[in-house]
A and B are shown apart, each in its own frame.
Chain A
Amino acid sequence: MADKQEGRPQKATIILHSGDMDKVYSALIIGNGALAMGMDVAIYFTFWGLQRLKKGALEKGPLSKMHFLGLGKWMVKQRMKKANVASLERLMRDFKEMGGRVLACDMTMEIMGIRREDLHTEWIDDYCAVGTYIAEARDSDITLFI
């Protein structure tokens, strides 16, 4: 359905290395925008980004700047609420509903002692490593490292 001209849809591959709240927003907003505009999208969650796939952790990241022990994040959250910005939970739900793929870095899981049962496995399409990212990225029209 999403075909751009003939053949396969265009593709975006995003690495989410950061677990900061604002950067998780960037990844999911760009991912959802690309899906909405007919692209195939995969987000590869690694390192601090992978922490956000733990149960109950999606909204838990600090601000990348001006976190101020949580006060800055609280203030930004208030402003976002006022501007009616969607929650990360909602963005993730929409991402999955539109066919977005979530890839989890298995090396990070090993380093950080994260087990599959610690993660939102219902979001995750595959557990993989750099080879999968390269295979995805090499035929992508957009690739980003966040």
Chain B
Amino acid sequence: MAVITVDCRGETCPVPLVETRKALRKAAPGDIIEVIGTHPSSKKEIPLAVQALNLTILEIREEGDVWTIRIQR
């Protein structure tokens, strides 16, 4: 089991969503994907994608403008 970090700080639509999906495709079941970003809508939309993919959000954290979403593959 690995933790894979996807740094999308400064990126805008649709890059954070796309990079999250690409990382999830490459990850093995059980891996954790940690997405870090600043694009406000992506913070809401990545969990929608995770739900549509039947995967699990472990945590959503926010520090200032930076959010971190942890996903269980």
Contact = CB atoms under 8 A, between A and B. Distances in A.
A4 B53 CA distance: 6
Contacts of A4: 52, 54
B11 interface: yes
Interface of A: 1-5, 29, 32-33, 35-38, 83-86, 91, 94, 97-98
A35 B19 CA distance: 11
A97 B54 contact: no
What's the dominant secondary structure at chain A's contact region? loop
A74 B48 CA distance: 35
Interface of B: 10-15, 17-18, 20-22, 25, 48-49, 52-54
A119 B17 CA distance: 29
Specify the main secondary structure of chain B where it touches its partner.
helix
A84 B18 CA distance: 15
B65 to A, nearest CB: 14
Given A1-B53, A37-B17, 4 more contacts: A33-B14, A35-B21, A36-B14, A36-B18
Contacts of A2: 53
Contacts of B13: 29
A93 to B, nearest CB: 10
B52 A94 contact: no
22 contacts: A1-B25, A1-B53, A5-B54, A29-B13, A32-B18, A33-B14, A35-B18, A36-B18, A37-B17, A37-B49, A37-B53, A38-B49, A38-B52, A38-B53, A86-B12, A86-B14, A86-B15, A94-B18, A97-B22, A98-B18, A98-B22, A98-B25
